[in-house]
């Protein structure tokens, strides 16, 4: 009797430990071999779909396509598909025909704005590839990467997705949450505008600079390394407010690390009114940001920061129409007036939608945690692990906001860049268009010349004076 009780107690303790400290299984060598077979080197299915509307992955171009001329960073990217026309346009009138390939947010926009919201669908392309060093890193991560601290951090090699063959929601989360190859350095002047149902517009403008060591070409580091000069940092950003006038001169600097349990986000803000810098220990999650406080801090890139407040799960894969190969909207002749022309939503005339396979990542707010969004559904392009669209739900389970992003392959970084993005409030009818560089010059990517000293509280104070 005593032995049985003891055995039961030991099992209970072991189960409790397992639940509190999940074991994150690594992919076997045999499974990782798929990255050189049926899968691309970063984990996408190489084959097309059954009806051919999604082509097989070609990866025929690395950098600038041979038929194009690109002067270099600081110039908008020439469109390799400029001569193509939409194959068809999805409207409120024909949306039932395409419903299986639309998100809840897309369907809601079509229903709410039946006269103006449209989805122009073009031929799908999978023509760009990553450099060999990214592939080598992804293959290494497949068998070696692991999550730590209950999923709030991970140990892997930078420069590629840590879990190219994800098995859990947290693994999928970390693949897309600003960990894959993106610009090493980025500098741009970005405009923001919130358009309200009454026609009024609230403008914002920022000078933004980011240094992301994970994207440094041909350089690979361990995410848990404490070696200088970066010490396990994922990225730093510097944001100086130019508009609205009341906030002009405010400067924010923030650093994110690869383990939020050990090193939470580090953020400071210079206030021109007080001429002082203060730490922002709670900067993140659903703290309001942008003109009128329209979006949350963690809305940027569809989600950023610690995963701690949500239970994340893989909700399958789907074939849907996503904004992709978005060169047309990032040209010097596109104006903000064009993008903000419609009531309730970004003008999609300059957008390009293609059918692609996406991972569906679902986050549900954990009991005892607070956030404006009780549920988030994020759609992630399988070829790049880029978050392309998101649907956000309130505490009543009602679809509240939906986000459309515009990604393109940026030739100078040999990787993908997150451009113009539209955040739509389906309840109020207002919307925010962010990351517009029209009239301000194309972003400068991978120029280098940035150091950690440019992202300190002292740097914020100097820039604000």
Q: What is the pLDDT of residues 321-373, one digit of tens each?
A: 999 999 999 999 999 999 999 999 999 999 999 999 999 999 999 999 999 99
pLDDT mean over 25-31: 87
Number of structural domains the chain divides into: 1
The pLDDT of residue 16 is 39
Judge whether residue 18 has pLDDT over 50.
no
pLDDT tens profile 96-151: 999 999 999 999 999 999 999 999 999 999 999 999 999 999 999 999 999 999 99
Name the average pLDDT for the chain. Answer: 93
The pLDDT of residue 178 is 67
Whether 180 is in a domain gets the answer yes
Distance between CA atoms of residues 133 and 42, nearest Å: 11
Q: Residue 184's domain is classified under what CATH number? A: 2.50.20.10
CB neighbours of 50 closer than 8 A, spacing ≥ 6?
A: none
Whether 31 is in a domain gets the answer no
- On the 0-12 / 13-18 / 19+ scale of CB atoms within 10 A, 303 is buried
- pTM given for the model: 0.94
The pLDDT of residue 24 is 53
Judge whether residue 425 has pLDDT over 90.
yes
Whether 20 is in a domain gets the answer no
pLDDT mean over 367-382: 98
- Residue that the structure tokens 């914002």 belong to: 204
Whether 116 is in a domain gets the answer yes
Whether 57 is in a domain gets the answer no
pLDDT mean over 407-429: 97
> Six-digit token pair at 74?
């600081």
Whether 248 is in a domain gets the answer yes
Whether 168 is in a domain gets the answer yes
**Which residues on neighbouring strands pair with residue 121, listed in sequence order?**
88, 353
Domain containing residue 248: 88-464
Judge whether residue 83 has pLDDT over 70.
yes
Closest C-alpha to 128, from 446, 445, 409, 419: 409
Judge whether residue 180 has pLDDT over 90.
no
Whether 344 is in a domain gets the answer yes
Our measurement of the distance from residue 254's CA atom to the centroid of its chain's CA atoms, rounded to an integer in Å, reads 17
């Amino acid at each position: 009797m005593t032995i049985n009780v003891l055995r039961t107690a030991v099992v209970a303790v072991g189960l409790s430990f397992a639940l509190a400290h999940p074991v994150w299984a690594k992919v076997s060598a045999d499974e990782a071999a798929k990255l050189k077979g049926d899968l691309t080197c970063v984990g996408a299915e190489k084959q097309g779909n059954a009806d051919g509307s999604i082509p097989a992955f070609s990866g025929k171009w690395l950098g600038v396509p041979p038929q194009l001329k690109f002067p270099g960073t600081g110039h908008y990217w020439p469109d390799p598909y400029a001569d193509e026309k939409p194959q068809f346009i999805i409207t409120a009138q024909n949306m039932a025909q395409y419903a299986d390939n639309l998100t809840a947010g897309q369907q809601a926009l079509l229903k709410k704005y039946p006269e103006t919201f449209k989805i122009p669908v073009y031929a799908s392309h999978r023509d760009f590839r990553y450099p060999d060093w990214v592939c080598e890193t992804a293959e290494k991560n497949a068998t070696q990467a692991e999550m730590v601290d209950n999923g709030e951090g991970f140990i892997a090699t930078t420069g590629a997705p840590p879990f190219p063959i994800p098995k859990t929601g947290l693994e999928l989360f970390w693949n897309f949450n600003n960990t894959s190859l993106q610009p090493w350095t980025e500098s741009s002047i970005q405009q923001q505008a919130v358009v309200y149902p009454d026609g009024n517009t609230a403008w914002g403008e920022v000078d933004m600079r980011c240094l992301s060591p994970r994207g440094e070409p041909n350089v690979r580091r361990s995410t848990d390394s404490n070696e200088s000069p970066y010490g396990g940092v994922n990225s730093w950003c510097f944001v100086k407010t130019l508009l609205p006038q009341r906030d002009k001169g405010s400067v924010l600097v923030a650093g994110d690390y690869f383990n939020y349990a050990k090193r939470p986000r580090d953020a400071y803000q210079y206030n021109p009114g007080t001429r002082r810098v203060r730490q922002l220990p709670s900067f993140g999650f659903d703290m309001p940001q942008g003109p009128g406080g329209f979006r949350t801090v963690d809305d940027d890139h569809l989600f950023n920061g610690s995963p701690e407040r949500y239970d994340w799960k893989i909700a399958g894969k789907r074939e849907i129409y996503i904004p992709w190969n978005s060169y047309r909207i990032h040209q010097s002749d596109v104006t903000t007036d064009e993008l903000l022309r419609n009531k309730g939503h970004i003008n999609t005339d300059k957008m390009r939608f293609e059918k692609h396979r996406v991972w569906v990542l679902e986050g549900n707010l954990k009991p005892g945690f607070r956030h404006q969004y009780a549920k988030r559904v994020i759609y992630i392009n399988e070829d790049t692990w880029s978050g392309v669209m998101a649907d956000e739900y309130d505490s009543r389970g009602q679809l509240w906001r939906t986000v459309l992003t515009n990604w393109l392959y940026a030739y100078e970084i040999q990787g993908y860049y997150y451009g113009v993005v539209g955040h739509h409030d389906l309840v109020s009818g207002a919307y925010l268009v962010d990351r517009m560089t029209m009239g301000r010059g194309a972003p400068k990517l991978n120029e280098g010349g940035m150091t950690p000293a440019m992202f300190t509280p002292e740097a914020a104070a100097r820039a604000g004076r």
